[in-house]
A = this chain, B = another copy of it.
Amino acid sequence: MKLYYSAASPYVRKVMMTAIEAGLDKKIEAVPTVVTPTKPNADVARDNPLMKVPTFVTDGGEVLYDSRVICEYLDSLHTGRKLIPISGGERWRALRLQALGDGILDAGILTRYETFLRPEEKRWPDWIQGQLRKVTQGLDAAEQEADAFDSQLDIGQIAIACAIGWLEFRKPAGDIRSGRPKLFKWYEKISRRPSMQTTVPKG
């Protein structure tokens, strides 16, 4: 299996954490890849016309993206406890929590593009403010739910953990710990897992 990989991408981290928790990481060839919205990457484009990471190729040569699809595929390959509960309320809760984590990240990443990639004179404060509100409200919602985060790891928790890890790596929203004691108590605990420790963002 092959993964277009970036050590700075929180969506790649979601895939790698899932692979590690599923015991599949040794079977994945990670191909270092640089993508940025304003520069085409012809190598990635051959497999994914959207030119994003993570992009994944199965042993059978089938291409899969995006991170949600890859994570679900990996979760189907092992016989241990599933990271995406198979059915019922547990499944919808985990998938909705994953969408929350991904949504916080989408807004955080748009903020970073605006404040880092875009030429300074073309930055739009209303846009930044709107995206940061999503980040802040999203984290506040996670704080309210943190007590209920199951001790059993699932894809929702993985997504929230990757979102927090990336927000603390790139800091588009500044300090995010203040006023969220339950969330960060849980985050400290999940951060001790090997799947978190070996995927700390770099770059």
Contacts and interface: CB of A to CB of B under 8 A. Distances in A.
Contact of A51 (B92, B137, B140): B137
Contacts of A99: 65-66, 68-69
Interface in A175-189: none
Contact of A92 (B49, B52, B73, B137): B73
Interface stretch (A16-24, A120-128, A191-199): A120-128
A40 B129 CA distance: 10
Copies held by the complex: 2
A87 interface: yes
Given A37-B127, A118-B127, A130-B39, A140 B62 contact: no
Main DSSP-derived SS at the A contact region: helix
A32 B92 CA distance: 24
A160 B4 CA distance: 24
A168 interface: no
Interface of A: 37-40, 45, 49-52, 58, 62-66, 68-69, 72-73, 76, 87, 89, 92-93, 95-96, 98-100, 102-104, 107, 113, 118-119, 121-124, 126-127, 129-131, 133-134, 137-138, 140-141
